Amino acid sequence: MKLYTHFMALLALISFNACSEDENENEMEEIASNTELSVSGEVEGEYKALGSYFEHFDADSELYVNSFEFMDQYNPAESTFLIGISRFSQEDMELTTGLYPLSTSYLAGGDTNSFGVGVSWWDEERNATIYPEVSNGILRITQISSERIRGEIILRMKTSEYDEHQAELNIDGKFNVPREEF
């Protein structure tokens, strides 16, 4: 739970530093449109998202973290969704181009040393549906520079098997996100 709290605090830090409301509207649209998502299942539609990638060492857990985050708003409290794709490991990892299988997040009981996924989706009343289980998922990194990472994601997610109705969510997307430093 302590790691989860640190992870969420880090996410909030990213979103608060991402952009101020006073910036040029065109610049905000350009930044926000770095990810395009096609969603089906429990939620349907085409979405644009603000995505980013960061690497850091969490001193409390003594784990290295490589993480992609995608939201449709700069402020997580106003976002319709949050997609987190993270790898927690005792060893540092250099991200390279190629395919990475996605599994259940380490934060939800998955393994370290592989990329795990967690998705939260909020309705108009701010009721969250959490999709912690991965049926199938692939992260494809096509291009890496010192400033940006380009790629694609394919996610087939489910709500917990303990939910009365196990909802499914399918997400296909393309991204060109900045690398954040911590």
Contact predicate 46/37, CB 8 Å: yes
In a domain, 27, yes or no: no
In a domain, 122, yes or no: yes
In a domain, 66, yes or no: yes
CA distance 115 to 66: 8
Residue in this structure with the two tokens 């649209």, named with its chain if needed = 29
pLDDT of amino acid 104: 80
Least confident residue range of 72-76, 78-82, 176-180: 72-76
CA distance 14 to 25: 19
pLDDT confidence of 107, banded at 50, 70, 90? low
Residue 119 CB neighbour total at 10 angstroms = 25
Q: What is the pLDDT of residues 40-59, one digit of tens each?
A: 999 999 999 999 999 999 88
pLDDT confidence of 74, banded at 50, 70, 90? confident
CA distance 136 to 103: 7
Contact predicate 110/104, CB 8 Å: yes
**Count of structural domains, the chain:** 1
Contact predicate 150/175, CB 8 Å: yes
In a domain, 109, yes or no: yes
In a domain, 84, yes or no: yes
Structure token pair of residue 177: 């996100």
Alpha helices in 120-165, H assignment, sequence order: none
Q: What is the pLDDT of residues 110-158, one digit of tens each?
A: 567 789 999 999 999 999 999 988 999 999 999 999 999 999 999 999 9
Q: What is the pTM of this model?
A: 0.78
Instruction: Tell me which residue range forms the domain holding 176.
Output: 2-18+32-180
